Structures are given as structure tokens and as C-alpha cells.
Amino acid sequence: MRQSLDLAREVLDHEIVDADGVSCGMVDDIEFDHPPGKPPVVSNLVVGPHAWSARTPALLSWLVRLVVHAPVVRVPWSEVEHVTERVQLRSTAAKLGLGKADRRVGKWVSRIPGA
């Protein structure tokens, strides 16, 4: 992996792809550990509607919490294989608990005529 990344430009809001090449969400937030006396280090990628809904207007945030019952998933940074235009993971989405809401929504969308 490269020695440095611009996390805001190269990771945040980018697509996540699992070890099988399956798209499994977007990076909605990034968590850091900050050991005393040391620089902060990335600990987790945060994925899920509840992670990004906090950045939206209150009414939309409330609606997302009401409608979407998907948990926030924390993907350990150690699971990141490499970063290009996508964030490639070492494991499958199922192993990491990703994509559950996408699969559920996909079932609804497939029932819409013309979708």
C-alpha cells in the first residue's frame, strides 16, 4: 500500500469493492485512533446510511433513521487491500457484514416495473 493518501479525496465517499469484486457500499466516514504522543492513524472505514445521515438536514436524517434499519458497519483499515479509484478489500462483503441494506433495497427495486 502507498505510504500516504489524501483520505478526504481518495477514500471518503468512494466505492468499496470486496475481494470478489462485488460493490458493497461507499465509505461514509473514517475513524481514527490517536495514541498518546503519536500521530493519529486510521482505524476503521464507516459504512452505512446511519453514518452519512448525520451529515444531512435534520428531516432527511430522521427519515433515514425511520426507514432504513441497516446497522453502521466498521471495516478495519487492515482489511483494505489497496486504494485506487475504489477501495479494494481483502475479504468478502458477507464476511465483513457489508451490503445487507443494498441487497434488501435491490429486492424492492427489482419489483418496480421498468427498473
Cα–Cα dist 84/78, whole Å: 16
Domains along the chain with CATH numbers: 7-110 (2.30.30.240)
- Residues 111, 92, 25, 31: is their CA dihedral positive or negative? positive
Backbone dihedral region for residue 95 (phi beyond 0: left; psi -120 to 50: alpha; all else: beta): alpha
Backbone dihedral region for residue 28 (phi beyond 0: left; psi -120 to 50: alpha; all else: beta): alpha
Question: pLDDT tens digit string along 7-64?
Answer: 889 999 899 999 999 998 889 899 999 999 999 999 999 987 767 656 666 766 666 6
Which is nearest to 7 in space by CA: 34, 42, 49, 33? 42
Question: pLDDT tens digit string along 58-106?
Answer: 766 666 666 666 678 899 999 999 999 999 999 999 899 887 655 555 5
